[in-house]
Structure 1
């Protein structure tokens, strides 16, 4: 049985209030500035850098069976900060999980980007996935993120806090 908000520590309540304000601001900004010069608002970055916001966004994508773009973006972020002795292993994992045409979570990349990745997989470096990651980020910013802001996931997250 739910005991209500009074049983939560005050630090949790303060964090929840802050998240509510941020998500409300994202939704408000999106609705005021849906498309500006053909671009969507760049608040996706703020969402991806917020642990709670990221989890709400992930839940939304999972409900649409389209979380592969977010998972790829996160894998690339992890790859970028990995020690050089682990880059080869992580690069192979990213390629087999997201890039390979038979990948279980294949992301939608154009042929040029996909072929470019294949050509450098023998000697991956820290920026191997930068172009592909940016393309997927842009896809999320133009497609998934605006849908998320209009979704019940976003609205529930705003009002649950």
Structure 2
């Protein structure tokens, strides 16, 4: 919800402030055409004799969520905005009581022009970068402990990007602009696949019933889906990976799956091959995509809230310590 909320307030960190309430409340089909501009806010709005700064209507909030998110039903936008209020990211300064009288579910949020909202102190902290450091729902996506991936500053930067939902969203956007979004999509899909795999294998080994083996078959079907989307020759999102690895994948995926125990062994082999491809993609993103992302002026305002320089410094210190320790070992 915080990721969507940051986008609601403007992808580049700047609020979409209009000089007056009339300008902020006007309707236009092109208001949010690029999906990066935040919801329209009035710089000042007088309500019951009191002046409020940076306010927006419930209708503007609902329109933005409908136009700039993956919502397909207007009612979804009402639920999302209600969560923003519930999580204390925004608050009502004027309710639309007429709407509330006809829609009991609208007590938290009213998607109308008369309903006026503003950001809370917590909401402003989220925008400024305070309170970050929580990992996202994809916790543990980085390279930490990943075999075959050297620990340098760019891999640690990518670690940070993958483990922060807001950064990951911007990184995906940058990859899309450079026509290599499939690398991140594959990385995340394999990460989820491997977790599902280990769970299904443990379940089948503990209790080898027909239902648990059905779970193995479903996971194997997912493996073919990932292979056909990213790794098979001529696939729609074909990745740039080592020829030998691609050949090994093709050999394994075109073989018959087998039955029960053989199927589990096949799945374990597929995991190993997928993780090899995932490592290759991680290295490519770290060495090529991360530097381009950090140099992109479009994200300069947002990225300055993240201390990437500290990552470089800590890596240099670690490398220095490793060299010292190696020299000490050689003397011994």
TM (norm. structure 2) is 0.40
Distance in 2 between the 1:19 and 1:129 partners? 37
Q: CA deviation at 1:47?
A: 0.6
- Structure 1 regions of 5+ residues with no counterpart? 23-36
RMSD: 2.8
Q: CA deviation at 1:107?
A: 0.7
1:6-85 equivalences under 5 Å are 7-18=118-129, 39-41=152-154, 42-83=156-197, 84=200, 85=215
Q: CA deviation at 1:120?
A: 2.9
More strand by proportion, 1 or 2?
2
Match of 1:116 in 2: 248
Q: CA deviation at 1:139?
A: 0.3
Stretch deviating more after TM superposition (90-99 or 125-134): 125-134
Tell me if 1:134 matches 2:245. Answer: no
Stretch deviating more after TM superposition (63-72 or 132-141): 63-72
Question: Which of these two proteins has the greater Rg computed from alpha carbons?
Answer: 2
Stretch deviating more after TM superposition (146-155 or 115-124): 115-124
Q: CA deviation at 1:156?
A: 4.0
TM (norm. structure 1) is 0.77
Q: CA deviation at 1:43?
A: 1.4
Stretch deviating more after TM superposition (100-109 or 119-128): 119-128
How many pairs were matched up? 146
In structure 2, the CA distance between the partners of 1:87 and 1:128, relative to structure 1 (3 Å rule), is: farther
Q: Is 2:231–2:246's contact at 8 Å kept on the other side of the alignment?
A: yes
Distance in 1 between the 2:130 and 2:196 partners? 29
More helix by proportion, 1 or 2?
1
Q: Is 1:98–1:104's contact at 8 Å kept on the other side of the alignment?
A: yes
Q: CA deviation at 1:18?
A: 2.4
In structure 2, the CA distance between the partners of 1:19 and 1:124, relative to structure 1 (3 Å rule), is: farther
- Structure 2 regions of 5+ residues with no counterpart? 1-23, 25-39, 42-53, 56-89, 91-117, 134-149, 201-214, 258-265, 306-332
